[in-house]
Structure 1
């Protein structure tokens, strides 16, 4: 499995809608946690977006999976960046 850093930029004025859909978003994320594929996730302190660290066989497949995130289904993410990451030290180094 390859490790990917996924960056979400939240849509402007979407805070109330994110609050509404956060339980479904976290349930969706927890499926990846249970499968051992989501290593970490959380919002940026300024509320502008979030960072998610996934494992996946390939970027194309991960992008298809990300489309199913309730935040993406509800158009609460205005920009998405997926970058292959090769951690060499720390807690995630075993996944590289």
Structure 2
């Protein structure tokens, strides 16, 4: 499997909805982590663009986005943009 960097950009006008669904969103990602598909995931810590970065194993771009279609944030249309790009660390490893 290949590693992909997925960026989520959240709907800035729906922060209350994001807060309400965050527990289900995190549980979804935890399950994918336990299944070996999500390596790491977390939201951006600066205020520039609300969103998150996910490192996800997948066969290809479509496989990764299809896997993330089940994310409660995506299903509730809280993610206004998703990008998935193949990524490989040049220094260090992610195990």
Q: Same fold (TM over 0.5)?
A: yes
Query: What's 1:41 paired with?
Result: 41
Deviation at 1:61, TM superposition (A): 1.3
The answer to whether structure 1 residue 62 and structure 2 residue 64 are counterparts is yes
3-state DSSP of counterpart to 2:90? coil
The answer to whether structure 1 residue 74 and structure 2 residue 76 are counterparts is yes
Instruction: Return the TM-score normalized by structure 1.
Output: 0.89
For residues 20-55 of structure 1, the C-alpha deviation after alignment (integer angstroms, 9 at most, x for no partner) is 001110111011110112111111112611000011
Q: Aligned partners of 1:61 and 1:70: how far apart in 2?
A: 18
The answer to whether structure 1 residue 17 and structure 2 residue 17 are counterparts is yes
Aligned length in residues: 93
Query: What's 1:8 paired with?
Result: 8
| More off after superposition, 47-56 vs 70-79 | 47-56
Deviation at 1:18, TM superposition (A): 0.8
Instruction: Return the TM-score normalized by structure 2.
Output: 0.90
Note the residue ranges of structure 1 that are not aligned, 5 or more in a row. none
